[in-house]
Amino acid sequence: MPKRKKGPKQAEKALDTFSEKRKRGRPGLRPSEISGRSYNYRLIFSHIWDVVGSALLKAETEEDVDRAFDPRPVYKREFLPLASRILRVLHDPKFPKRPEPQRNFLADSLAGRDWISPRRCRDICGQERRKDRERARFKILRWEFYIVCSCKYKGPSLNHTCPKCGSEIPISSRFLENTSLFWPST
């Protein structure tokens, strides 16, 4: 049997290696997810706080937390697994005295479920709200068209009109249907 002239090809990259470097932070925890859950909890508590709030503030055991949600049993499934965490947050030395801050404090603290501490959860929610405020600072103040008018003017429009003759740019539903040519839908 003749000998092989070339050896078998060596794989440049093993099949079982990871394709990319792992991101920083805890895997599976996205700050936007925690912030979104906090927002949802804030809405829920704003609707049910008048009914549930006083009983919840008096709760000393997990059974008391269970009884506090009796008038609104729809929310039991969401909040009963968090009963021990709710008690811990309610007995926090920094727990606010007024109703609205109490709701928000509790919502922000519970948003991390049992994955992160209530304090860290409140920090994440605050950071995300700060980022949202920064994003909201910048907006388009005015948008204009480049026009070719029947009065022979060529150039940018001024407040959606021709600066030379004052004729308006008709913005119709037909125009809005064709904006997908310029701005792809997401």
pLDDT tens across the length of the chain (186 residues): 667 677 667 767 666 666 667 777 666 678 899 999 999 999 999 999 999 989 999 999 999 999 998 888 888 888 889 999 999 999 999 999 999 999 999 999 999 888 889 999 999 999 999 998 888 887 777 677 788 888 999 998 888 888 899 888 877 645 555 554 445 444
132 and 150 part of one domain: no
Q: How many CB atoms lie within 10 A of CB 167?
A: 14
Q: Count structural domains, the chain.
A: 2
163 and 131 part of one domain: no
**Model pLDDT, residue 177:** 53
67 and 108 part of one domain: yes
Q: Is residue 92 part of a domain?
A: yes
Q: What are the percentages of helix, strand and coil residues in the chain, rounded to 5?
A: 50, 5, 45
85 and 161 part of one domain: no
Range of the structural domain that residue 172 is part of = 146-181
Q: Is residue 9 part of a domain?
A: no
163 and 91 part of one domain: no
The amino acid present at 127, given as its one-letter code, is Q
Q: Is residue 126 part of a domain?
A: yes
Q: Is residue 52 part of a domain?
A: yes
152 and 116 part of one domain: no
